[in-house]
Structure formats: structure tokens, C-alpha cells
Amino acid sequence: MLTPGTLHVVATPIGNLGDLSPRALDTLRNVAAICAEDTRHTRQLLSHFGLERPLLALHQHNEDAQAAQLVARLAAGESLALVSDAGTPLVSDPGYRLVSAARAAGIRVSPVPGACAAIAALSVAGLPSDRFVFEGFLPAKSSARRERLSRLASETRTLMFYESAHRIEETLEDMASVFGPARRAVIARELTKLFETVLDGSLAELKARVTADADQRRGEFVVIVEGVGEDADARIAEGQRLYAKLSEHLKPSQAAKLAAELSGAPRKALYGGE
């Protein structure tokens, strides 16, 4: 039995349909309607499980407009589900505005957890997983992407990114150039699907691997990059890398000051002058 007037945020599979949980199925079977990112996609998922429920389109272009109406239905006692095309709604997917509006109206919002590509990738990456940062998709344009990566270059926590097939190669190239070619990383491709592949190595090795083999550029990707080390040697190495880049554009003293601030390395270790 579902609690009336609840918005159920339901995770769906990221590939393998066996990952739809029994509770997710039960919830989808019993709600008055399902808000879906792409109704055709969700209809296929439901029909695979022999379900038929009313579907309402909720995507980035209509979410604001739909939220008020959906909150009114919830407030009137109906239970609704929110799903996205794959994985956990709101994680690089629509739903945030609806959840926010529902919460503001005092509606109960309840998760039915399940697959999430970022967490699935982290769980098999073998990189430090006690503290991590999810960055979602990087900008499509290389200049904006490099700029975003530069702001992450001194991050000590593990970094997680989503990437598509047509940009994976350029993104790895930019990461190797901004984070340094030796930084350790993992590419998790097509998780839970037939061609699931998890590759690890330095950014330079991974880029070479993806360039050499067209199959490694197909499908959906999570890229996980190790954070910069917290020990003094690692901070100095990072500071020197930043200093070399920044001094292409700034006076040496300014470049050293900024590189020291960003890396946490002592300024003197980067630049001898005053």
C-alpha cells in the first residue's frame, strides 16, 4: 500500500532490466500516474514488465510549467512516481524543480533507490571512494571544458564525470593536459550492459587506448579521476604544474602566488624570486 499524496522518486535500470527492484515495480504499478522524461522510453520499460499506467511528460522544457499542476494533484491525495530514462532521477536528469515544489508545498517525497551510473562506476573503480565529487557533464566546447577542469585541478577528492561517446576522446585529451598525463583515472563504459568495460590507467594511457580502439569510444561513459594527493610532495608537484601554466600568462611572482594558493604548496617551493 502506498501512502496517499506522495511523490515517489523511482530509480530505473541503467542497462540491465534485472536491476529494477521489486519495490520500484510495486510502486510503479500502484501510483495514479508516472512522470517520465521520455514517455515512449518509459512505456517500453513498463510493457517489458507487463505494466500499463498513465504517463505524463516531465522534461527540462516543461518542468516549471508542469510542477504546479502535479503538486495540486499530490495535494489532492494522488500518489505519483517520477522516473527518468535511466538511473536515478535528478542525477544529471530532470526532477529537481518538481521535487523542490513538492517539498515547498509540504508534500511527502519518498525515494525508491536503485541504479545510478556514477555510483556503480565508483563501486568498481578502485580509486579512493571515501570522499568524492560528482561533476556531471563537462561543457561541450573545449575552451569551456578546459576552464572547468582547471578549476578542479587541485581537488583532492575523487572526481566523477558523465561523458558521451562523441566527446570521450577530446575530454580525456583535455583532462590529460589540464590534470597532467600521469593522473590515475578509470573509464566505466556501458555498465550492466553486454559490452561493459572498466579500464584503468593514467590519463595518457586511457586516452591512447580510446584513440587506438574505436570500440572503446562507443556507448555511455563515466570517467573517474583520482584527486590530487594531499601529501607535501604531491602539493609541490601540483603547484609546479600550475606555476608552469600560469606563468605563460602572468608575471612569475603573480603566477607563483596563485599557484601556491590553488595547490597549497609553499610559494617558495615554486618560485625563488621576490
Binding mask 128-167 for ligand SAM (x = CB under 6 A): ----------------------------------xxx---
Instruction: Kindly tell me which of 118 and 260 has the beta carbon lying closer to ligand SAM.
Output: 118
The binder of ligand SAM chosen from 15, 94, 95, 239 (CB under 6 A): 15
DSSP calls for the chain: -PPTTEEEEE-B-SS-GGGS-HHHHHHHHHSSEEEESSHHHHHHHHHHTT----EEE--TTTHHHHHHHHHHHHHTT--EEEE-SSBSTTSSSS-HHHHHHHHHTT-EEEEE----HHHHHHHHH-S--SSEEEEEEPPSSHHHHHHHHHHHTT--SEEEEEEETTTHHHHHHHHHHHH-TT-EEEEEESTTSTT-EEEEEEHHHHHHHHHH-GGGGSSEEEEEEPPPP-SHHHHHHHHHHHHHHHTTTS-HHHHHHHHHHHH---GGGT----
Show contacts with ligand SAM in window 189-208 (CB under 6 A): 189-193
- Closest distance to ligand SAM from the beta carbon of 164 (Å): 5
| Contact criterion met (CB below 8 Å) for 159 and 133 | yes
Q: Which stretch binds ligand SAM (CB under 6 A): 68-76, 80-88, 126-134, 251-259?
A: 80-88
Instruction: Kindly tell me which of 35 and 237 has the beta carbon lying closer to ligand SAM.
Output: 35
The binder of ligand SAM chosen from 45, 70, 87, 224 (CB under 6 A): 87
- Closest distance to ligand SAM from the beta carbon of 243 (Å): 33
| Contact criterion met (CB below 8 Å) for 107 and 5 | yes
| Contact criterion met (CB below 8 Å) for 71 and 105 | yes
Residue 216 touches ligand SAM, criterion: CB under 6 A: no
Burial of residue 178 (CB within 10 Å: 0-12, 13-18, 19+) is buried
Binding mask 92-131 for ligand SAM (x = CB under 6 A): xx----------------------xxx-------------
CA-based nearest residue to 176, from 223, 217, 213, 126: 223
Residue 21 touches ligand SAM, criterion: CB under 6 A: no
Q: Which stretch binds ligand SAM (CB under 6 A): 148-156, 182-190, 227-235, 262-270?
A: 182-190
Binding mask 217-256 for ligand SAM (x = CB under 6 A): ---xxx----------------------------------
Residue 84 touches ligand SAM, criterion: CB under 6 A: yes
Instruction: Kindly tell me which of 42 and 247 has the beta carbon lying closer to ligand SAM.
Output: 42
Q: Which stretch binds ligand SAM (CB under 6 A): 24-32, 89-97, 152-160, 229-237?
A: 89-97
Q: Which residue is nearest to ligand SAM (CB)?
A: 87
Report the alpha-carbon distance of residue 25 to residue 46 in Å, rounded: 9
Q: Give the binding-site size for ligand SAM (rule: CB under 6 A).
A: 24
Residues that bind ligand SAM (CB under 6 A): 14-15, 84, 86-88, 91-93, 116-118, 162-164, 188-193, 220-222
